[in-house]
Structure 1
C-alpha cells in the first residue's frame, strides 16, 4: 500500500469561527417550536472510541446517506492527521468507488488489480493488496464493483468473519477503517458488523420510514452481538438532509430514545452534495464551508475524542 501519484493533497482543518451546531446532552422535545434549535446530542454515558477503530456505516434502506456519511467522516478524520481506510462494501455501481477517485500502482498489471470481491473468494489476497491511495494524504480506498454481489449470492466459506480476520492481520498503520455498507442486511453487512467496533446509522431526517426500518437493522445488530461480536455498539445516529421541522424534531426524539447511549448528529442538508459527487470530490474539498461539512467534522471529533495521529 503506497502512494502512487506524485503528490497527494493535504486535507485542511476547518476554522473555529464557522456555524457549528451546539453540543447538548439530550434531544429537546419540550421547548416551544419557535424556540427550538437542534444540537448534537452527546449523552453523558457516551465514551469516545480509541484507536485503531473500525466503524460500519449501516442502514438497509437505500438513499439514507451512508456514502456521504462515510466519506465526510473520513475526510474529517484525515484532517486531524489520522490515516483512514474506506472499504466500499456496496456492490451498487453508484457507490463510493464511483465518487472517490483512487490510483492503482503504476507497475501493477491490469489483471492484478484486485478489489473487495477478491478478498472473499481468493485466500491469497491480503487487505493491503486491495487498499489503494486516493488524491488525499492519509486517505485510502478498498474499491468494489457489481461482481461483489457474488458474495451475497454464493456466500463463500468464512464470509461472516473474512473482514474481521483480514483487519486483525493487517499491519499497515491505518488508524480508522470505515466500512460503507450497501442497502441490505445480507452477508456483506453481517461481515462488516462482525469486523467493527462501532456502528453509525444514517437516517433521513424527513423520513418516518427510515425510523421504522431501523427495527430490522437492530435485529441484525443484536444477532451479531450475541453470536460473533459482543463488543459491537451503536455509536451514533446521523440525521441526514436535516432541516428544522416538526417531523425532524419528532424523528430525532424517537432515535435519541431508541439509542440513549449514542451520539445523535444532525447533518444539515446541502444542495452541493450532488455537485460534489458529479465532480468526484468529497464535499469537504468541493464546498468546505457547507453546513453538512461542519456537522460531520464536529461528529468525527466527538466519536474519537478529538484524537489526532501521534
Structure 2
C-alpha cells in the first residue's frame, strides 16, 4: 500500500449553503429563454454507479481545450471529499497535462531513473501500483505521464488496448475509484482508457457548436469499443464546460441530452480563476472553493456515485 506523506492537505466537504444548481429530469426547451433556468439534468433512466472497489471513469473527448483535465481533477477531489480513495491516471502525453498541474510526491531517496510513469506501465517496466504516487491531497494519488507517453500512441505496443484494464484488475491496492484523463484524440491511449472503464464522462464546451458535431466521432468510437471490447461501458455524464446561460448553451445541452438520453447533463459554470489555480499548482477546489465551477463538479460527482448529499 502506498502511504500518504504527512505534509498533505485534506479535502473537506463543501457547505450545502452554497449556490448549487437545481436538479431536474429534463430541460424544458419549450419555455421562453428568459423563463428558462439552467439546472442539472438527471434523466429517469439514469442509475448511479454501483458501489464497488476499482470503479473506473474515463474522461474523454477527441477535441482539445474542452476541460478534460479540469473535469478529471475536480471530479476526483469531489469523490475524495466524500471519503473515497481515488487514483488519477494521466493518459495525456501533452506537456500541459494533469502531471504539470498536480505534481506527485516521490518517496525520499528515489532517483529519477527509478521514478515510473504511465509509459512504463504500457511497456511492462512496472506495475500500475508501482507507478502510482501520492499527491498534495490526502486520499488522491496520481499515475504521472510525460511527453514520451506519445510513444505508446505511435508504436501501439502489443496488447495496448487491454493494458490498463488488465493492470487495474491485477492491482492489489485498495482504491475505490480510478479516473483516467485521456488526451485530445481518439487514438490508442483513449481506446485503451475506454476499454478499462465502467463509465465515460464527456466534457463539451457549452459555447462551441462544433463540439456537438465532434461528439459524433466520440460516439462512434464508444460504440466500437462497446461492441468489440467492453460491453459494459456507458456514457454516464456530459459536463457542459465554460457554461454561461445563452441560447447556444441551451441548444447544445438539448442536443447532448438527445444523443445520450441516459446520461447526466451537468452545466459547469464558467470561472476566471482556473488559470490562476493552475499557476499555483492547486486544484480549483482548494484555490477558490466557492467558485460555481467547483460546486457543479461536486454535485455532479455526488449524483454519479449516488452520494449527492441532497
TM-score for the superposition, normalised by structure 2 = 0.97
Q: Tell me the distance in 2 between the aligned counterparts of 1:262 and 1:307.
A: 16
Aligned to 1:115: 117
Residue 61 in 1 paired to residue 63 in 2? yes
Aligned to 1:183: 184
Runs (4+) of structure 1 exceeding 4 A deviation are none
Q: Tell me the distance in 2 between the aligned counterparts of 1:196 and 1:167.
A: 10
Aligned to 1:8: 8
Unaligned runs of 5+ in 2: none
Report the secondary structure of 2:175's partner residue.
Answer: coil
Deviation, structure 1 residue 203: 0.2
Deviation, structure 1 residue 105: 1.0
Q: Is the 8 A contact 2:4 2:138 kept in 1?
A: no
Q: Tell me the distance in 2 between the aligned counterparts of 1:296 and 1:58.
A: 16
Q: Is the 8 A contact 2:299 2:308 kept in 1?
A: no
Aligned to 1:248: 249
CA-to-aligned-CA distance 1:167-226 (integer Å, 9 cap, x gap): 001121100000000000011000000000000000000001111001111111000000
Aligned to 1:76: 78
CA-to-aligned-CA distance 1:243-276 (integer Å, 9 cap, x gap): 0000001100100111110000000000011110
Q: Is the 8 A contact 1:28 1:253 kept in 2?
A: no
Aligned to 1:87: 89
**Cα RMSD over matched residues?**
1.1
Deviation, structure 1 residue 157: 0.3
Aligned to 1:48: 48
Aligned to 1:27: 27
Aligned to 1:199: 200
Q: Is the 8 A contact 1:59 1:201 kept in 2?
A: yes
Report the secondary structure of 2:275's partner residue.
Answer: helix
The equivalent position to 1:102 in structure 2, one of 85, 101, 104, is 104
Q: Tell me the distance in 1 between the aligned counterparts of 2:144 and 2:137.
A: 16
Deviation, structure 1 residue 6: 2.5
Deviation, structure 1 residue 7: 2.9
Q: Tell me the distance in 2 between the aligned counterparts of 1:162 and 1:223.
A: 18
Report the secondary structure of 2:285's partner residue.
Answer: helix
Aligned to 1:233: 234
Aligned to 1:305: 306
Q: Is the 8 A contact 2:59 2:72 kept in 1?
A: yes
